[in-house]
Amino acid sequence: MPIRNTMSVLSKNLKVALLQFHAGADKKANLQKVKEFASKAITQHPSLDLLVLPECFNSPYSVEEFKNYCEPIPGGETTEFLSNLAKEHKVSIVGGSFPELGSDNKIYNTSLTFDKTGKIIAKHRKVHLFDIDIPGKMTFKESISLAPGDKATVFQLEDFCKVGLGICYDIRFPELAMVAARQGAGIMFYPGAFNTVTGPKFWTKFAVARAIDNQVYVVMCSPARNVAGGGYQAYGHSMVVDPNGDVLVEAGHDEDIVYCELKPDVITEARKNIPISTQRRFDVYHDVASDAVAKDI
C-alpha cells in the first residue's frame, strides 16, 4: 500500500543562511559570535527567512566539557538568547545544538527551532550518539556524558512547510528522514560537526543519499575548523542539497556564511518525474513511519 501523494509540500521559496563559525571555551563570546554572524547575514540579505546554526555552537565539542556548558530548557541562557535573536531580526532560527540539562539530570545534545516571534516550535534531542573507534585515527564516545533522545522530530516551519530535524550522527541512520518525508516534510535539517576523518568520506554522501531517498532538501550546518586552536577539528563544508541530490551551495572549512533559496517547484518536479512516494510497497516491507514516536516540545 503506497503512502499518500505529498508532491507539493513547500508553499513558497524559503531563503536560508547557514552560519559556519568556530566555538571556543568562552560561552558568552560564542553567543556574541552568533549575534555578529546573524547581523551580518541579515544585513547582506534582508529578506532572509531562516538562520541555521552549527552543532554545539555555544561550547567546545568535547565529551568532557558538555557538563560545564549544559543548561535547562526553557529558562537557560542560550535558549533566551536565541529567542531574543529571532524576535530582534524577525527571522526563524534552527538553533544548531547545545548541551541541555534535562529535568532528569541527564545531559542531552539538543536543537531548538524558533519562529519569528521567538517562540520555540521544535525541540530535538540527538537520537543516535556518536560512539566510534577507528584504530589509529580517532576514538570518540558521546555516551560517556550524553543521554540519547527518544523521538523523531517533525514540525511545521511557519507557513512554509513541514520539516524534519536531526543532529549530526542522526544523518547516518535513514529512518528519521524517512519518517519526516512520509509525514509530509519537504526539508531535513542536520546541524552537524563531522570531523576531518569521517567528514571527507561521508559528509556529502549522506546529505545526497538522504535527499535522493526522500526527495527532500537537506540542509547541513557545521562549525568551522580551528586548526590553530587545537581540540576537536570540525570538517566544515556546510551545504544545501536539493531533492535530486545536487549540491547547491557549499562552504569551505573556514568561518563563512552561505546562502540558498529553497524552491517548491524543485520538490514538485522531482516527485512528479520519479514518483517514489506513491510506489513504495508496504505490503512487502514495513513502513517505518507508521509507528514512529512523534516529537514532543
* Beta bridge pairs of residue 33: none
Dihedral, CA of residue 255, residue 174, residue 15 and residue 236, to nearest 10 = 10
Q: Grid coordinates standing for 289?
A: 513511519
Active-site annotation holder among 33, 126, 162, 295? 126
All residues at 6 or more sequence positions from 163 whose CB lies less than 8 Å from its CB, including other chains:
154, 155, 156, 157, 180, 185, 186, 187, 188, 189
- Residue pair 22/251 in contact by the 8 Å Cβ criterion: no
Q: Grid coordinates standing for 63?
A: 565529551
**Is 261 labeled as catalytic in the residue annotation?**
no
Active-site annotation holder among 56, 70, 168, 221? 168
Interatomic CA distance for residues 288 and 176, integer angstroms = 9
**Is 126 labeled as catalytic in the residue annotation?**
yes
**Which of 130, 123, 121, 129 shows the shortest CA–CA distance to 152?**
123
- Residue pair 54/238 in contact by the 8 Å Cβ criterion: yes
Q: Grid coordinates standing for 221?
A: 550546518
- Rounded to a whole number of angstroms, the CA Rg of the chain reads 18
Encoded amino acid at 258, one letter: V
**Is 119 labeled as catalytic in the residue annotation?**
no
Active-site annotation holder among 33, 55, 123, 221? 55
Residue with cell 565529551: 63
Interatomic CA distance for residues 64 and 148, integer angstroms = 17
Interatomic CA distance for residues 177 and 77, integer angstroms = 30
Task: Find the angle CA(116)-CA(96)-CA(219) to the nearest 5 degrees.
Answer: 85
**Where in the sequence numbering do the catalytic residues fall?**
55, 126, 168
